[in-house]
Structure 1
Amino acid sequence: MPKPASPPSQQTANLLRQDLHPALPVLGILGVGHFASYTLAGLRRGGFSGQVVLSPRNAEVARTLAKEQSCLVAGSNQEVIDRASMLLLSVRPHQLADLLKDLTFRSDQIVISAIAGISLDEHRAAGPLPEQLVRMIPVCSIEAGEGIIPIFPSHPLVEALARFTGTPVALESEEQFDLALVASCMNGWLYEFFGDLADWLTNKGLPEDKTREMILHNIRGATAYGLLKKNETLQDITQGIATPGTFTLDGLKQLRNQQGISAWTKAMDGVLGKLKA
């Protein structure tokens, strides 16, 4: 099991103060695509005013982000590293070794990896990385400043950065982190589910401009209520609502009979199986 990252060195602390905004890191992003776009949008919306330096590889996206999110585009990936105190890796797993080839990091730098499905040991096998290496799962909801951001191992500066976009949760092992990754996949599945429900309402006659609000606010209300009732299991909340004679219970029985609920956990089993393969 990889050992937790060491506390930030004094040199790292000094680097963090080099930005125009004290205590904010100079953030470098290696891999500028969809993930970088919503992460940056979430950081800026959450009040992060530190300098951000982008990899030039995806030139069109980098130029757009530089304009929209007040970032700098570096001339090379090495320049990104040279300018930054904290680096964010956001490439596909098979691209990591090529990305790291011929790059040199400073020993005190903090590297955050948003690369799904590869362990810390596999990261290190792909190329020379500094001691402070942290895995993180930021899903697209962070653009709205919502959601959980799983982190392993715990690192105070990484958690401080994540708080600009949501709620960081430090996990105790990579096994726990992988389970959190499975849960984050559910985030993407939900939108198709919401869309099907909205289409049903529209097809039955509810105005289209009302269906989206109806579905999303019902879901938001349900999650808020679940978070409020911390002393009840989620199943207990259901039982308290779906009582005999209610329409809620009628619909719930149909979902159970057609495996509409168990299908979700089967999908999670499938993702976890691929992670362990």
Structure 2
Amino acid sequence: MRAGFIGTGTITQAVVTGMLRFGVPFERISLSPRNARTAAELAALDGRIHVCASNQEVLDNSDVACLAVVPQIAAEVLGELEFDARHHVISFMAGISLDQLRGLVRTSGKIARAVSLPAVAEGKGSTAICPADEVAKAIFAALGEAIEVDSEDKFDALSAVTATMASFYAVLETQASWLAKQGIDYADARAFLSGYCVGLAHDTTRTEQPFSAMVMHCMTPGGINEQVHTELSRRGAYAYYGEALDGVLRRIRGRA
């Protein structure tokens, strides 16, 4: 595989790093020169990684074209490039549909969308792919979970739940601040909660049980887990997540 990345930001850095770390086979990786520092750092990792003089040179040296520019400049950047039918296009650009993507790349070659998170660099991320795509699956299955869906409505829904990152950390900050009020040093509270969350996340990978079953499993009748869960449920705390995600999904689909 000769892969090229148009745009050399956080996601490109994570994907290329993960490909190297977990042995995804490739002949060459060509990088956009736009973010020179990141591109140079990646090129220093492996002799098969090259920084090109232009985005067109990236395409000319690639069969798999990964598009990782911000959506606001996608038309400008891609409008200057010449794709052809050999290019297998994988887009990381949020909010640009397959039909829009086809119009931007102006080729009959295969195209797919993917939404990936920085944790793929550590082999711990999840990537949504639409439609099912053997090349994208081969890359991202090695970097964590790769979930293929058959419609952009489903892909949009998976994209929407990635909007919960800030709220995830906000819950941890609430707990850390509470512990600090109990006299525990903030750094110790943070370290404890980090390890605690890693353990919980690891448990999700050891079973295919529904999360609802895991909720019940960790609650002893009359116990402290049941107490907190019951209190939050009574106050409707969990319901707010669904309502917030409905709003995100409307925005993704241009209906906000």
Instruction: State the TM-score, normalized to the length of structure 2.
Output: 0.87
1:170 aligns with 2:132: no
* Contact 2:129/2:155, CA 8 A, preserved across alignment: yes
Q: Which blocks of at least 5 consecutive residues in structure 2 are unaligned? A: none
Q: How does 1:57-136 map to 2 (within 5 A)?
A: 57-68=34-45, 71-136=49-114
Q: Which blocks of at least 5 consecutive residues in structure 1 are unaligned? A: 1-24
> In structure 2, how many angstroms separate the alpha carbons of the residues matched to 1:255 and 1:173?
34
Select between 145-154 and 211-220 the one with higher mean Cα deviation. Answer: 211-220
Q: 1:45 aligns with which of 15, 21, 42?
A: 21
Q: How does 1:163-242 map to 2 (within 5 A)?
A: 163-231=141-209, 233-242=210-219
Instruction: State the TM-score, normalized to the length of structure 1.
Output: 0.81
* Contact 1:111/1:130, CA 8 A, preserved across alignment: no
**Map of 1:31 onto structure 2:** 7
The SS at the match of 1:190 is helix
Give the superposition deviation at 1:109. 1.4
Give the superposition deviation at 1:97. 0.9
> In structure 1, how many angstroms separate the alpha carbons of the residues matched to 2:107 and 2:184?
54
Return closer, same or farther for 1:141/1:103 CA change in 2, 3 Å cut-off: same
Number of corresponding residues = 252
Q: 1:275 aligns with which of 216, 233, 252?
A: 252
* Contact 1:105/1:130, CA 8 A, preserved across alignment: no
**Map of 1:256 onto structure 2:** 233
Give the superposition deviation at 1:81. 0.2
The SS at the match of 2:246 is helix
Give the superposition deviation at 1:49. 5.7
Give the superposition deviation at 1:77. 0.6
Give the superposition deviation at 1:255. 2.0
Give the superposition deviation at 1:167. 2.0
The SS at the match of 1:163 is helix
Return closer, same or farther for 1:143/1:196 CA change in 2, 3 Å cut-off: farther
Give aligned-pair identity as a percent: 26
> In structure 1, how many angstroms separate the alpha carbons of the residues matched to 2:186 and 2:141?
35
> In structure 2, how many angstroms separate the alpha carbons of the residues matched to 1:161 and 1:188?
27
Q: CA RMSD in A?
A: 2.2
